[in-house]
Structure 1
Amino acid sequence: MAASVDPRRLYRLVHEGQLCALREELRAAGRADCAGPAGDTLLHCAARHGHLDVLTYLVEAWDMDIEATNRDYKRPLHEAASMGHRDCVRYLLGRGAAVDCLKKADWTPLMMACTRRNLEVVQDLVEHGANPLLKNKDGWNSFHVASREGDPRILQYLLTVCPAAWKTESKVGRTPLHTAAMHGCLEAVKLLLQRCQYEADCRDKCGLTPFMDAIQCGHLGVARLLLEKHKAQVSSEDSLGAQALHRAAVTGQDEAIRFLVSELGVDVDVRATSARSSALHYAAKEGHVSTVQTLLSLGADLNAKDGRDRSDTPSRQPKRVLCPETASERGGSPAPGYRDAIDGDHS
């Protein structure tokens, strides 16, 4: 009679790569098809933790299905690719794993691999037929995902094998250049400006340009590069009429504000056209005390009124309008994500 199975012990043995002990347990149990957390199989666990010997044993001794999915529709290939375990990726591909299988939110193994700085895994997947142009539910292809991580080698490689990969926008109109700028990936931005043909001050559906993204996230090296090489306009406005200065005030980027005002000559009291608010209004509204002090030190008018005849007194609680953003912008795997947009209504 087969012994009872303790799934937790089996998954621990796989997690730790204890092949000999696992072999003994499975022989005694007479089966290997025990479900784990999130619907994983032992194969998912072995691939995730990079234990090729365990992976091989489970496939060849127990005939486990390499196309098994968990509750997120991940397959073992997704797990191995996302963690950069090249030997496991190559083994699964050699066994005929579907290279462009989709997990939840339509992520392929290649997209998952592009969340890591592991060129060899990306190459293996592409050489086995992975399509870099496929898009996930947010409208991101693999090149766009790679632009968030900012590895120039992966971006170079994808452009070599698929020259049109850069011509992509997310469902909210964001380009790989927006994404690389937002995440401060200076070398990636250099490459995108050299090898791709993005329009100067290309805008997403909220009206943001890559320069605005760089400024509001405090990436001054990227901002300088966009000014020098891409002819970015400092005074460009988003869909609510806010300029880079206003967005820096919302996010509390004091150094970016000094850069805009002291080095680039931006008027510290320039108004956002929709609400007639200055950077000082926005900083006060968000409760950024140091940013208010920075703006005042740069000559901001403390008595200025906004479009509703209100001053910069930070008496109201911060209120934000959330501009829906692709889930892909925030992390390796999709999760609900939003990007702050400036609120034109200060009520």
Structure 2
Amino acid sequence: MYAYNSIHVPSNATQSQNLDQKKAQLFQWCVDGKCKEIRNFVEDNLERKNMLLEPNKHGVYCVHQAAGFGRLNILELLVEEYGADVNVVDENRWKPLHYAVRRKYTSQQKATVKMRDICQTKKLSEANNDLALFVTSDKFSRLVEEGVRKRSIAGLADLAEDSNEDDSSEESMDHSPDKGIIDNMKNRSFKFHPPVKYLMQKMSESDVHEDTLKQDFVNVLQHAIVHNNFEAVLEMIKHFSEHSTSDTSLSEMLNLQYESDNKWTTLHTAASHGFDEIVKVLLYYGADMGLLDERKWTPFHYAVAEGNSDAIRTFVSYAREKQDKYAVIDGLTDSPHTPMQLAIINGHISIVDYLLDEKVSLTTVENTSDTCLHLACKSNDVKLFDLIFEKDKSDLDKCNRLGQSPLHYAAIHDCDKVARRLIENEANLELYDYNKRTPLFLAVEHNSKKTLNVLLEKGVSFRIVDRSLKTCVFIAVEKDSLEALKILLTHIGDDFSILANKGDDRNRTPLHVAAEKGCIEAVNILLESAKADVFARDYQEETALHLAAQNGHKEVVKTLLGNTPRLLDQLDNKWDSALHKAAQAGQSSVVEFLLLTKTKFTKRNKSKKSALDLAALHGHLDVVRILVRETKSRYDTIRIKEILVSPTNECLNSCSYRVNL
């Protein structure tokens, strides 16, 4: 009985379901390497033969499956006997070769192929033709795979060693970059990848244009590298170097940038993933470690950023031999960061230590003004800081283009341990940045509580102001750094009240800022602990109440008016009251609250506009309704008409709302 007769199809299955089940079985046979079952199923039936050459519902072909699972016997069957196309693509535009390089060739599969070769060509073919035919069968494949697993086939190890010695010059010596790799390969069993070799050969023999083949080579090689398929990489490189008919050299091929957003070369990919053996192979065959990708990073940058120590050592060793490449190690290229800077940024202490031992420069590139010591002050790692500082102490107070020193950086990132170490080494506590802000200001701005405590304990000056005449208390309120505000209140005592009432270059006090932002907690701290002046006026003569009302912060308005009712009558330089501000901004909840205080809402400003006029002018109908309702409840009909018909007719002409008198 033929194997295909074992396919169970329900009696009520549709023709489409029947076809899908048969196709699924075919795909499974391709995965399992069952040539006999496939031949029996297909026989001379054209329809079934076509099933081998058609995709499944996912756009995958049988030849993809066979390649993906390393079934060389199925690949040969599909291509040689049934005419499968090795350049066919799935829905992801992947060819069978993409599938082949994603999976490493297993020891069982390697043993099967090697044992067949040995038995056919050297050991058995002359003595026993029947046995020679037997080793090409599926049964032999299963026996060899079982023998590899159980180590029970007599002489398997000896035959494998013989095969390694016979083809070592072909597979290893001539195509290995150095003795380290050669020795490593000798210790491997069955060092080849037949499916990749077969597919590469068939693709070269096809009618595909040379440029397409080159791009396919780079594309598939990237896949092989990503999956750390060392044998596949070697097989592809060997094939291209031996069979290419184009003018493009192997090194040029390896240095082609992959068609993607990052523009990586093969060496970028291997370095990023830390596949050291592949890095060595690529360097040997001419991959350029100095090429920049889209980010202007070299492969060495990626090796360092990802912390791939073995690849880093390989690059450094290679650069030492090739003196013209050592600038890549120092990183003094067009890159935004040097490799040393990347090691520091990512906190790779062991790599920083290694690079320093290799005399890698601490010089920064022109694209950034941060020194290595600046970057070390971001991590709060004292050991990392000490490594850098011991190599170059001259950068202790060096400022970047923003005028910030390493201590500024420690303050920004709340690195209290590093801040202490900087201060112990006599770092300047009072250095200004370009905004005339000391590290104290930046600690407050970024709410860096631990570093702020360290700076205050060490006696940093807190009375100074920045370029905008803002105090540290002002900055704390402006940046919502409430924890920092409380620390300042605890440490500076009576001076807190002085700083809390000091205005900036626009005469705004911290209370103005807190009211404008609606930060009720900051408002309470300033009123209760600093006795902040609620009548203080800014450059437009606005009080904190004006700003709170304009921005709709009802709770802040309540708090400010709580103990100071007179504040309600304060006018700014346009004669606007808090009610004018709220009405103009359409803050209906604040308007309703202010009306409860019985404020005189009919007052007009310098432009002779009342709160009602301003609400109408800006189209705030809800506020207009509130004010009209309040007008009706307070005044008689004659007075109502006088109020609603303003000198500028704002209510009648600018607002679509019509008042029924």
Q: CA deviation at 1:207?
A: 0.8
Give distance in 2, aligned partners of 1:84 and 1:231: 43
> What is residue 296 of structure 1 aligned with on the other side?
624
> What is residue 157 of structure 1 aligned with on the other side?
490
Higher helix share: 2
Q: Which runs of 5+ in 1 are unaligned?
A: 316-347
Letter in 1 for 2:623: L
Q: CA deviation at 1:284?
A: 5.5
| Aligned positions of 1:116-195 closer than 5 A | 116-148=446-478, 149=480, 150-151=482-483, 152-160=485-493, 162-163=495-496, 164-195=498-529
Give distance in 2, aligned partners of 1:284 and 1:269: 14
> What is residue 113 of structure 1 aligned with on the other side?
443
Letter in 2 for 1:298: I
Aligned length: 308
| Aligned positions of 1:20-39 closer than 5 A | 20-28=350-358, 30-35=360-365, 37-39=367-369
Letter in 2 for 1:227: L
Please tell me whether the aligned partners of residues 43 and 64 of structure 1 are also in contact (alpha carbons under 8 angstroms): no
CA deviations 1:168-212 (Å, max 9, x no partner) are 221221112222222223222222222323334211121111112
TM-score (norm 1): 0.77
> What is residue 44 of structure 1 aligned with on the other side?
374
> What is residue 567 of structure 2 aligned with on the other side?
233
Letter in 1 for 2:522: A
Please tell me whether the aligned partners of residues 201 and 232 of structure 1 are also in contact (alpha carbons under 8 angstroms): no
Give distance in 1, aligned partners of 2:431 and 2:339: 30
Task: Assess, with a 3 A threshold, how the Cα gap between structure 1 residues 39 and 186 changes in structure 2: closer, same or farther.
Answer: same
Task: Assess, with a 3 A threshold, how the Cα gap between structure 1 residues 258 and 84 changes in structure 2: closer, same or farther.
Answer: farther
Please tell me whether the aligned partners of residues 81 and 112 of structure 1 are also in contact (alpha carbons under 8 angstroms): yes
The structure having more radius of gyration, on CA atoms, is: 2
The answer to whether structure 1 residue 75 and structure 2 residue 416 are counterparts is no
Give distance in 1, aligned partners of 2:644 and 2:565: 34
Give distance in 2, aligned partners of 1:254 and 1:21: 62
One of 92, 100, 105 as aligned partner of 2:422: 92
Please tell me whether the aligned partners of residues 411 and 448 of structure 2 are also in contact (alpha carbons under 8 angstroms): no
Letter in 1 for 2:624: L
> What is residue 60 of structure 1 aligned with on the other side?
390
4+ long deviations beyond 6 Å: none
Letter in 2 for 1:125: L
> What is residue 432 of structure 2 aligned with on the other side?
102
Q: CA deviation at 1:161?
A: 7.0
> What is residue 256 of structure 1 aligned with on the other side?
590
Please tell me whether the aligned partners of residues 477 and 510 of structure 2 are also in contact (alpha carbons under 8 angstroms): yes
CA deviations 1:118-173 (Å, max 9, x no partner) are 44322211222211110111111112212332335224224427354334221221
Task: Assess, with a 3 A threshold, how the Cα gap between structure 1 residues 297 and 127 changes in structure 2: closer, same or farther.
Answer: same
- Secondary structure at the counterpart of residue 123 of structure 1: helix
One of 599, 607, 617 as aligned partner of 1:275: 607
Task: Assess, with a 3 A threshold, how the Cα gap between structure 1 residues 277 and 52 changes in structure 2: closer, same or farther.
Answer: farther
**Sequence identity percentage:** 23
Please tell me whether the aligned partners of residues 523 and 556 of structure 2 are also in contact (alpha carbons under 8 angstroms): yes
TM-score (norm 2): 0.43
> What is residue 551 of structure 2 aligned with on the other side?
217
Please tell me whether the aligned partners of residues 47 and 76 of structure 1 are also in contact (alpha carbons under 8 angstroms): yes
Q: CA deviation at 1:76?
A: 1.3
- Secondary structure at the counterpart of residue 104 of structure 1: coil
Q: CA deviation at 1:48?
A: 3.4
Give distance in 1, aligned partners of 2:549 and 2:539: 18
User: After alignment, is 245-254 or 189-198 more displaced?
Assistant: 245-254
